Structure 1
Amino acid sequence: MTEALDSEQVQMLKRAFSMFDSGKTGRIDKEKVRTILQTLGLMIDELELEALVADEDKDENGRLNFEAFCRVATHFLDEDDEVMQKELKEAFRLYDKEGNGYIPTSSLREILAALDDQLTPDQLDEMIAEIDTDGSGTVDFDEFMEMMTGD
Structure 2
Amino acid sequence: MENKDGTGPRRRERRKESVIPFLKKPKKPREMSEEHFEELEEWWAKADVDGDGFISLEEYVKIMSANYVSIDMEKERMKAAFNLLDKNGDGRISLSEFQAVMMFNNNEMTKKKVEELFKEVDSGGKGYLDYTDFIDSHICSVVFQ
TM-score with structure 1 setting the length? 0.41
Larger radius of gyration: 2
Q: Which has the higher contact order (CA 8 A, sep 6+)?
A: 1
Larger strand fraction of residues: 1
